[in-house]
Amino acid sequence: MADETDFHDFHFYEPAKGHGLPHDPFNAMVGPRPIGWISSQDSEGRRNLAPYSFFNGFNYTPPIIGFASIGAKDSLHNIRQTGEFGWNLATRPLAERMNASCAAVPPEVDEFELAGLTPVASRCIAAPRVAESPVSFECKLTQIVQLQRADGQAVETWLVLGEVVGVHIARHLLKNGIYDTAAAEPILRAGGPADYFSVTHDNLFKMFRPR
- What CATH number is associated with residue 161? 2.30.110.10
What is the rounded end-to-end Cα distance, in angstroms, of the chain?
25
Global confidence as pTM: 0.93
Q: Is 208 inside any structural domain?
A: no
Q: Is 211 inside any structural domain?
A: no
Q: Residue 44 carries which side chain, given as an amino acid letter? A: E
- Which residue segment(s) compose the domain that 138 sits in? 31-199
- Count of CB atoms within 10 A of residue 84's CB? 22
Nearest CA to 32 among 55, 51, 10? Answer: 55
pLDDT in tens, 64-120: 999 999 999 999 999 999 999 999 999 999 999 999 999 999 999 999 999 999 999
Q: Is 206 inside any structural domain?
A: no
Nearest CA to 75 among 102, 38, 45? Answer: 38
pLDDT in tens, 162-200: 999 999 999 999 999 999 999 999 999 997 789 999 999
- Per-residue confidence band for 24, with pLDDT thresholds at 50, 70 and 90: confident
Dihedral Cα 159, 14, 11, 9, nearest 10 deg: -110
| Structural domain count, the chain | 1
